[in-house]
Amino acid sequence: MFSKIDRPLLYAVFFLMIVGVLFVFSASSYFSLRYTGNIYTYAMKQLLFMLIGFMGMVFMAHYDYTRLRFWIKPMVLVTFVLLLLVFVPGLGSVRGGARRWISLGLFDFNPAEFAKLVVIIYLAHILTKKQQKLQNFTFGLLPPLLIVTAMFFIILMQSGFSIATLLLAVGLIMFFVGGASIKHLLSVGLLSLPVLVTFVIQVTYRKARILSFLNPWDDPYGRGYHLIQSYRAFAGAGWFGKGLGNSVQKLGALPTPHTDFIYAVITEELGLLLALLLLGIYIFIFLRAFLIARHVRDPFGQLLGYGIASLFALHVILNIGVTTGVLPPTGVSLPFLSYGGSSFVMFSLAMGILLNLSASTHEEVKETWREIHEDFQTTMEE
């Protein structure tokens, strides 16, 4: 089976992993030296995350993904327990005013990152199981919606508004793809909107993020500072950048150059051409993931594929959208490039599941991709 996996997808993901370690080192060197006394601290941790993530991806590529259905109840239960452990004094870790991590000594573990993947697996299972009841709100849509909503509010209490909203968005996409009533989904969406708006405008720092997005120059040394520094990174990049390691904005201007704003540092150092190349690779991975999901014959596997593809795409859109000033600041990681073990390992496991699914869709995806390529060539010639 492993010989039939989608190798272009594997190579693209592995390329991002390698590039991620390289640029975490470059982006974090000043930050790491300043706060740990060693320029290699974050790079070495990211390398370890990459090794763990790669092994996890290989494992999931071999593992029979249908067996995930047998583990779904303990996975959901453990996820709820871990999300609640964040609030335990001495165990939960607070950073930047947010309580999202469980301290493990050398590393901090963010259970909300894994909650996103668990929700995808759970919804793929329950929507497949309840296929005939999904048009019934009470007995079809409501039970899984309550699980997703419960996780949403727990993560929201951790000051994880962006992650909670992302989890809810992926959930609604999966409900739609799974066959839930559009009328019910629109009702849920409309009812959720005032709640989300309330959680934004009644929390000072969230409201400040929106205001900084609308006009960062109104407060250039306060709430608009981060976005302006990101703009400067892009403005000084040119097509070929300032050279690897030569970013100016990472030297104290960007507060988190190796996490949320790593795309700005990459662009500043190696230029707009590389930034567009990376964006192209992300689009390529999404398209392969979408095609794999489309051609999977097993309903459970198909929903898994669509859920993972949606989560991946939303992460990329939100992170790059924030970095370029198209979207308000969210604090969402850029898959495989941003520093962070929880996100890295979670996406590695998700890609492993996709590779597993691709083994049964190898020929179909290959044929569809060839047709897309031929259509593109024809369009360019015309």
Sheet holding 92-95, edge to edge: 92-95, 98-103, 108-109
pLDDT reading at 378 higher than 80: no
Maximum average pLDDT range among 187-196, 250-259, 294-303: 294-303
pLDDT reading at 375 higher than 60: no
First to last CA, the chain: 40
C-alpha angle 247-253-259 in degrees, rounded to nearest 5: 75
pLDDT of residue 9: 93
Other Cβ atoms within 10 Å of 250 Cβ, number = 26
Measure the CA–CA gap between 215 and 6, rounded to whole angstroms. Answer: 44
What are the pLDDT digits (tens) for 219-243? 676 777 778 888 888 888 888 888 8
pLDDT of residue 124: 94
pLDDT of residue 248: 84
Report the pLDDT averaged over residues 22-46: 88
Cα torsion angle, 190, 192, 196, 198, sign: positive
H/E run at residue 100: strand 98-103
pLDDT reading at 306 higher than 90: yes
Count: domains in the chain? 1
Q: How many residues in total does the chain contain?
A: 382
In angstroms, how far is CA 203 from the centroid of its own chain? Answer: 24
Calculate what percentage of the chain has a pLDDT beyond 70. 86
User: Is the pTM higher than 0.95?
Assistant: no
pLDDT of residue 346: 95
Measure the CA–CA gap between 207 and 222, rounded to whole angstroms. Answer: 13
What are the pLDDT digits (tens) for 86-123? 888 777 776 665 667 787 766 778 888 999 999 999 99
Measure the CA–CA gap between 10 and 359, rounded to whole angstroms. Answer: 12
Confidence of residue 369 (pLDDT cuts 50, 70, 90): low
pLDDT reading at 259 higher than 90: no
Confidence of residue 344 (pLDDT cuts 50, 70, 90): very high
Q: What is the mean pLDDT of the chain?
A: 84
pLDDT of residue 365: 65
- Print the domain residue range for 123: 2-381
pLDDT of residue 87: 83
pLDDT of residue 29: 87
CA-to-CA dists, residue 145 to 79, 123, 321, 361, angstroms: 16, 9, 28, 30
What are the backbone angles phi and psi of residue 243, rounded to the nearest 5°?
Answer: 105, 150
Report the pLDDT averaged over residues 282-286: 95
Report the pLDDT averaged over residues 127-151: 83
Tokens encoding 31: 């930050």
What are the pLDDT digits (tens) for 43-74? 999 999 999 999 999 999 999 999 999 999 99
CB 100 within 8 A of CB 115: no
pLDDT reading at 138 higher than 90: no
Measure the CA–CA gap between 87 and 93, rounded to whole angstroms. Answer: 9
Strand 92-95, strand 108-109: pairing: unpaired
pLDDT of residue 332: 85
DSSP string, 202-252: TSHHHHHHHHHHH-GGGSTTTTTHHHHHHHHHHHTTTTT-S-TT--STTTT
pLDDT reading at 345 higher than 80: yes
pLDDT reading at 189 higher than 70: yes
CA dihedral 9, 14, 17, 22 (to 10 degrees): -130
pLDDT of residue 73: 92
pLDDT reading at 18 higher than 80: yes
pLDDT of residue 33: 85
Other Cβ atoms within 10 Å of 154 Cβ, number = 20
Token pair 């290989």: residue:
58
pLDDT reading at 330 higher than 90: no
CB 122 within 8 A of CB 76: yes
